[in-house]
Amino acid sequence: MNTNPLLDFSGLPRFDGIGPEHVTPAIDALLAEAEAAVKVAQTVAPIRWDSFVTPLDDATERLYRAWGQVSHLQSVVNTPELREVYNANLPRISRFGSAVAQNPALYAQYKALAASDEAKAYDEARGKVLANALRDFRLGGAELNDADKARFAQLQEELSGLQAKFSQNVLDATDAFALYVDSESELSGLPVDVIANARAAAQKEEREGWKLTLQMPCYLPVLTYADNRTLREQLYRANAIRASEFGDAALDNSGNIDRILAVRNALAALLGFENYAEYSIATKMAADAPQVLGFLRDLAARAKPYAQRDRVELEAYARDELGLEDLQAWDLSYAGEKLKQARYSYSEQEVKQYFTEPKVLAGLFGVIERLYGLNVQPDSAPVWHEDVRFYRLVDADGTLVGQFYLDLYAREGKRGGAWMDDCRNRRVTAAGVQTPLVYLVCNFGRGSDGKPATFSHDEVTTLFHEMGHGLHQLLTRIGELAVAGINGVEWDAVELPSQFMENFCWEWDQVQAMTAHVSTGGPLPRPLFDKMLAAKNYQSGMFTVRQLEFGLFDMLLHSQYQPEQGGVLQVLERVRDEVAVNVPPDWNRFPNQFSHIFAGGYAAGYYSYKWAEVLSADAYAAFEEAPEQVEATGARFRAEVLSRGGSRSAAENFRAFRGRDPQIDALLRHNGMAA
């Protein structure tokens, strides 16, 4: 066995043994190996798939798999030592990627392979790998002159560092805040489990009282349930100004935002694009930025009347029933929850008692079995934290399809939010089939007092969403690395499988099967579910315009922003004037925490959530139209969408499944906004 766990590819990653000291030596060795493979590939002849693409894939896959493990640990168990080696090696990975993308000899070899007789006989997947490779060489700067290539690589390296710093600043600013409360009366209205966890957090520091944080399992309940308006305002303000000029100057992301935008535009300009949005959209389903802006504005025009109605109702209720004359940002969730309880006679907190973790997981796994005939079984693997569980996904005939890690709870040193990432992709080699391995990460509250964790219905939906991404990665049948799983899938279609899965959280049979009250063990009563269903589209107008606000802000920043015409906040202000009904205080610094676009993969792509929601709602409608054929429809969805990876376009996948182009009707209907 290799003494450096990052260099051991014989089985599952050795997460229990990876330390900061292993990172640089492993990256040294793997970079040298990958660079040597590139050197050989530049001149290999005759040029064939097995002599050219396969050896390159072998070497680069090992490098990116090891680096993926380091990046993952940096997100889920961040320590100063790990961060230091991550930041030291990130530019090296970025430089290697740039050098490959710009390598003229490799580009020439790919062009020669594409023009060869052998290529004429390639299947769909190999054909797509070649087409994508040629496109990506162009987008990676392979056709630039030497001076521009050097500049392009330098900008990419700078950008990866800026994005990492942005994310780390948000994490540190989140972890740095704590509010200690001495009297339990100040916590009036908060759920019992939240109070218990706040007490435990204080005791862990050997302090009296209760510790409140900006971690979502604490922050969201305070904003939603705390009767103490001052407390809500304190936490809202602390959250809203994270990583901004109002806090620790070392964690202020304002300068990072300006520089990230400038670097992105400079990268796009070098390749001859008008702006970064055009560069980003070159690999997406959408045609161009004007099409995306038109799509978002059309949806906004449909949704805003519903959002305005939601706001007027909320203001009237807050004034008449809660005595809140001026509805502030820190009152929205609280007043919204009170109105929901009054109108539908139930509370999210009441519902949460039924969604106990063991039942929710069993229910989720049951859906996977019902739709695709697959079995989820507990499995064992080395893990990075005691919270983590591991499972295997097995086909009806007993064949291993893939495996996944599940890391459900929030904790310090763990990035906020929920995500799926691949640890190892599917690949068919001479040695056999390499099965996929994925991470599913959430930030839920843990159980207390010996009771299992309970999830809000929103959290259950989040879990189903991430599992949808996971299934896209796990159920691929493609053997070529570059188009297996979500690789090569257009970014604005990548949310289709995840949003599709959310729909099953609203089916009565499904909900009944995955609920058991934390105290009594009884399932969710039908009358309570009917109230949830009646409230399903409660404030959906407000929620929709909020998502459109983010999407428009992102697209305008990356397609039309000119710093000399006003700052980033002015762009956001103009977007809010156009679509928003809830306008935050002017000291709110939302952009400074908008990791999706400044540190994640959603730059000039946040619109993807709504774009893909059109696809996912229409895909789910196929199940609604033939309720007696769930297995057959599920098999077709698996075959035409999930298993295809990026081996053909998302539009072709959709048409093969649905027999036609996507239509917006189902989305509007599911959101209660149909004409």
Structure-derived torsion over alpha carbons of residues 500, 506, 511, 512, reported in degrees to the nearest 10: -140
Are residues 633 and 620 in contact, defined by beta-carbon separation less than 8 angstroms? no
**CA–CA gap between residue 92 and residue 300 (Å, rounded):** 43
The catalytic position among 157, 158, 466, 613 is: 466
- Compute the Cα dihedral for 406, 411, 413, 418 and give only its sign: positive
| Beta-bridge partners for 438 | 404, 422
Beta-ladder partners of 409: 444
Cβ count within 10 A of residue 503: 20
**33 tagged catalytic:** no
> CA torsion angle for 77, 83, 85, 91 (degrees, to 10)?
120
For helices 332-344 and 289-322, what crossing angle results, to 10°?
70
Long-range contact pairs involving 22-31 (C-beta distance under 8 Å, separation at least 24) = 23/70, 23/82, 23/85, 23/86, 23/89, 24/85, 24/88, 24/89, 26/66, 27/63, 27/66, 27/67, 27/70, 27/89, 27/92, 27/93, 29/4, 30/62, 30/63, 30/66, 30/67, 31/63, 31/92, 31/96
| Gap between the Cα atoms of 219 and 236, Å rounded | 8
Reported as type and span, the H/E element at residue 554 is helix 540-559
CA 345 – CA 338 distance, rounded (Å): 10
Handedness of CA 605, 607, 609, 611 (dihedral sign): negative
User: CB burial class (10 A; 0-12, 13-18, 19+) of residue 268?
Assistant: buried
> Edge-to-edge strand order for the sheet containing 375-378?
375-378, 389-394, 400-409, 437-444, 419-424
Question: What distance separates the 2 farthest-apart alpha carbons in the chain?
Answer: 80
- Residues belonging to the active site: 466
